[in-house]
Structure 1
C-alpha cells in the first residue's frame, strides 16, 4: 500500500479499494494495542482558562485556543508538560491584528506562528512571544480554511475553501504557498470528470450545510493525504511534489445521488482509518450526514467497520480518529481532548486506570482539559 507513515517515503503500486455502499464486518479495537498514549493535563490558572482546542504541538510547546465561533482571539501557549507559559491576543482592527482567529499553524523551524484570519482573508505571522513579523492576504478568489500545514522551511500547504457565485469550488483546491508573501507556488492538480460539491442547500437556498471532514490530512514525515470531493482516488502527496494513489473508492462519486464521500483519517503501520459520509440532510429535524467509521487492516487485507476504545477509561465511550486537528509528524497520529468534568465523574465512578487516574485525582470540574496524544508505536 502506498504510504509514508512514520517517515517511510517508499511507495508501491498497490492501493486500497473501498466500496462505500458495502456493509463491512464489525471489529473492536483497543487504542493501546497499536498506539502509545500520553496524557498532558493543561495547567489551570486564573488567567489561563481554556477549552483546550489544540492547534499545534512540538517537542517544546503546545498551542491551543478556545472553541468559540465568535473567536475571542486568545492563543494559549503551554510547555510540552502542560505548564502555562503565555497568552497571546492580537484581536482587533489594526494592520497587525486579526479580526477572527480561525486557526494557528506552528512553524517549529522558524519559531513562528501563522494565524489565519478567515473573515479578513489574511494570514498574520508572529513569533512565539506574539511579536508581529509580517502579514499577507489570501490570493484573489482564494480562501484558506483550517487546513494549513508546514510543507517545508519556506512553504505552507493548504486547502482553498473559496466558492464562486454558483457555490462551486475552484478547479484545484490544494495549494503550496510562500511563507513570506503568500504567493502561490503550486496548484496541485487532481484529475476528475466534473466538479461534485459536498455542500447541501435547502430548496430556498437560505442556508447551507457543509461536510466538515478534513480533506488535507498530514501523516508520517513530509507526507499528506489529499481527498478531492470530485475524484474517486485519495492520493498520497510527497514533499518532492510526487503523488501516488492510496485509496480508490467505488462506485464513482460522479454516479451517486445522494453522494457518499470517503474521507481519509489516520494511517499507521497496520491500519488505514477512513470515514464515509452520506450527503443527505433533514432540514426540518436538522439531522443527517450519516457517518460510518471504516478501517483497512493491512495484515488481514480486509476492511472493517470499527469501534475503538481507550483501555484507560472503562465507560465504553468509543473513540473516533476522524479528528478536526491532525498532526503531520513522526510522533503523533491524532489527539483527543478529555474534558475535566467528564474525567472527574469517571474518577468518582472508578472508571479510570493508570496515569489518567492519577491525573484525574488532582482535577476539579473547573480545571482545564487533559490532552491525550495517540502516538505511533516505537
Structure 2
C-alpha cells in the first residue's frame, strides 16, 4: 500500500542522512538530571495574539483547552458531551455536536475528539467506540468498536487516522502503529517494530497496607495540529513523522531505556524549531491510593530546552501582560495549536478582576477585558514562538 511506512531501520538510516545533510541538531537529554528553575516571560519568547470566544446561551464552554487552527477553533461546550466549533475569530459557530446517550448513534462520553476541518467531520471516542459526525451533529458512521483506552489515536491526513495500541507487559517484539481509514475503518499495520513493552513499575499502596502493581505507560504518539512524533520509549528515540511518512530522529535520552533498566523514561511534551519540552517518569514508583483519589499524586517536573543557548531548565512562566503573579500560566499548551505555536487560556473572571484593579498592562488585552463579564467564555492567548 502506498501509505505503508518502510521498516524502522531503513527509515532511521535515511532520515539520519537527511538530518546530516541539513545540519539538523539531534537533541540529547539527560532524563535523570534535575535542571535549575528559570523565569520565562511569555513576551520574550513569543509574539502574542488574543482571541476572545463569543459568549451566548448557545455558546458556553468549559475549561477544557481549545484546539486552534487556521480554519476554526474546537472546544468542549458547557453541556456534558457537547463540542462547539467556532470560526477562527472565535465569534461564530460553524458547528455543534451533542449526541451523548446510550443509543447506537450516540456516545456515552467524550474521551477525546478529532476535528477534520476539510472533511467537515468530527471523530468522537467514548470508551468502546469511535464514531463520526458532521458539523451539525448528524451521525455518519462508526469506525471502531475496540476499547479506546488501549489506543492512541491522532489525525494523520484527509484519509487516515494514525493509531497505536498498548500491549501491557509484552516481552516480545511487536508492531504497535497502524493506519485507520476515515472512510470505512480499514486497518493497515505499519512495519515499525518495538522490541517489547517498557513501562514504569507502579506500586499502589492502599489504606489497609496492602499493595498492588500497575503499569505506568507513556504515550506512543504525540502531536500538535499539523505534526506528529512517535514517542514509544522502547524506540530509544523520538521520531518526527513527515508528510511523506518517512521518520526523522529528533531527540534521544542520554541513557537508552532498552539498555539501562534503571534509566528514567523520557516523557516527550513537544518541540518546535527552537524549544523542546520533556518530563520524566521514574522506573520504580510507589503512590498512595488516597493521594491518587484526592489528586495529590506527585507530578514530575516539566523541563524546557533552548536550542540557541543549549540550555535545559525548569520553566517558571511569567505573563508581562498582567501584573499579577497569581494569573501566571503553569504551562503552555503545545498540542492544541500548529507547530511553532503555543496556547494559554485566560479565564474571564481573572481578566475582569485584573482589569478592575488596573493590573492589565497590554493595551489589546485591556480593551478585550473591558468588555468582559465574569461568566463569559475564556480568552485564548496564542503564542507564536520567536526564533
TM-score range, shorter chain: 0.7 to 0.9
1:132 corresponds to which of 136, 139, 160: 139
Residue 10 of structure 2 corresponds to none
Contact 1:169/1:197, CA 8 A, preserved across alignment: no
Counting only pairs closer than 5 Å after superposition, residues 322-333 of structure 1 correspond to structure 2 as 323=333, 326-327=335-336, 329=338, 333=341
Once the two structures are superposed, what CA deviation does each residue of 1:92-112 show, in whole Å capped at 9, x if it has no partner?
Answer: 222221121122211122121
1:300 corresponds to which of 309, 322, 329: 309
Structure 2 unmatched runs, 5+: 1-14
Residue 232 of structure 1 corresponds to 236
CA RMSD in angstroms comes to 3.4
1:352 aligns with 2:357: no
Residue 242 of structure 1 corresponds to 246
Residue 9 of structure 2 corresponds to none
Q: 1:13 to 1:326 in 2, by over 3 A?
A: closer
Residue 318 of structure 2 corresponds to 309
Once the two structures are superposed, what CA deviation does each residue of 1:276-299 show, in whole Å capped at 9, x if it has no partner?
Answer: 344634305444444222222222
Q: 1:184 to 1:275 in 2, by over 3 A?
A: same
Q: 1:116 to 1:169 in 2, by over 3 A?
A: farther
SS in 2 for 1:75: strand
Q: 1:170 to 1:106 in 2, by over 3 A?
A: farther
Once the two structures are superposed, what CA deviation does each residue of 1:259-280 show, in whole Å capped at 9, x if it has no partner?
Answer: 6332223323322222234463
Deviation at 1:180, TM superposition (A): 1.2
| CA distance in 2: counterparts of 1:307 and 1:260, whole angstroms | 23
Residue 158 of structure 1 corresponds to 163
Bigger proportion of residues as helix: 2
Deviation at 1:312, TM superposition (A): 1.2
1:73 aligns with 2:73: no
1:20 aligns with 2:31: yes
Once the two structures are superposed, what CA deviation does each residue of 1:5-32 show, in whole Å capped at 9, x if it has no partner?
Answer: xxx9x86564111111223344332222
Residue 178 of structure 2 corresponds to 175
| CA distance in 2: counterparts of 1:26 and 1:365, whole angstroms | 33
1:373 aligns with 2:382: yes
Once the two structures are superposed, what CA deviation does each residue of 1:206-249 show, in whole Å capped at 9, x if it has no partner?
Answer: 696857x765232585x312211334321112222221221111
| CA distance in 2: counterparts of 1:199 and 1:173, whole angstroms | 21
Deviation at 1:48, TM superposition (A): 2.7
1:56 aligns with 2:67: yes
Contact 1:220/1:329, CA 8 A, preserved across alignment: yes
Q: 1:87 to 1:224 in 2, by over 3 A?
A: closer
Q: 1:27 to 1:288 in 2, by over 3 A?
A: same
| CA distance in 2: counterparts of 1:289 and 1:245, whole angstroms | 31
Contact 1:219/1:267, CA 8 A, preserved across alignment: no
Q: How many residues get paired?
A: 356
Structure 1 unmatched runs, 5+: none
Residue 202 of structure 1 corresponds to 204
- TM normalised by structure 1 equals 0.80
| CA distance in 2: counterparts of 1:95 and 1:338, whole angstroms | 37
| CA distance in 1: counterparts of 2:347 and 2:213, whole angstroms | 32
Contact 2:174/2:194, CA 8 A, preserved across alignment: no
Deviation at 1:144, TM superposition (A): 5.9
SS in 2 for 1:195: coil
Contact 1:215/1:263, CA 8 A, preserved across alignment: no
Contact 1:163/1:169, CA 8 A, preserved across alignment: no
Residue 351 of structure 2 corresponds to 343
SS in 2 for 1:291: coil
SS in 1 for 2:384: strand
| CA distance in 2: counterparts of 1:349 and 1:163, whole angstroms | 54
Residue 99 of structure 1 corresponds to 108
Deviation at 1:352, TM superposition (A): 1.8
SS in 1 for 2:253: strand
| CA distance in 2: counterparts of 1:56 and 1:81, whole angstroms | 13
Residue 5 of structure 2 corresponds to none
Q: 1:227 to 1:370 in 2, by over 3 A?
A: same
